[in-house]
Structure 1
């Protein structure tokens, strides 16, 4: 049996919301995702994801490249 491990940098201190942390970690480990992929992978409603993504983008933690969202840096 093979176990896949992924190294992720510590979470930014400004992430307080559990959902924001979840979205950030998903994007960091998946190396980017579309809104539909986030919705399917995290089982969160799009309306909640829009708010979380807007906040992450305003804080400079996530950027949009085409349809994909990625963690900055």
Structure 2
């Protein structure tokens, strides 16, 4: 019963996410861009405490899925 309540509470507070997001990191980047609007890789790195070597493949994947657009080093949701 407690597990059901915890699951229900988590589901109620979780924003709708595209089903294409398959990793926790991609969800984190997507949600950050949703909240922040446009930002650079440096801003993502500092805010999310992630390495650029991890961010670039995530952003490329999100872009290929049509979820993120970029202009130079600036990324935003599509």
Superposition TM-score, scaled by structure 2 size: 0.77
Task: Check if 1:56 corresponds to 2:62.
Answer: yes
Gaps of at least 5 residues in structure 1 are: 1-8
Three-state SS of the structure 1 residue aligned to 2:31 is helix
Report the counterpart of residue 25 of structure 1 in structure 2: 31
Runs of 4+ with >2 A deviation: none
Once the two structures are superposed, residues 12-61 of structure 1 have per-residue CA deviations (whole angstroms, 9 ceiling, x without a partner) of 01101000000000011001110000000000000000110010000010
- Per the TM alignment, residue 65 of structure 1 is displaced from its structure 2 partner at its CA by 2.4
Give ranges in structure 2 of 5+ residues lacking alignment: 1-14
RMSD: 1.1
2:40 aligned to 28, 34, 40, which one? 34
Q: Which has the larger radius of gyration?
A: 2
Task: Work out the CA distance in 1 between the residues paired with 2:22 and 2:45.
Answer: 20
Say which structure is richer in helix. Answer: 2
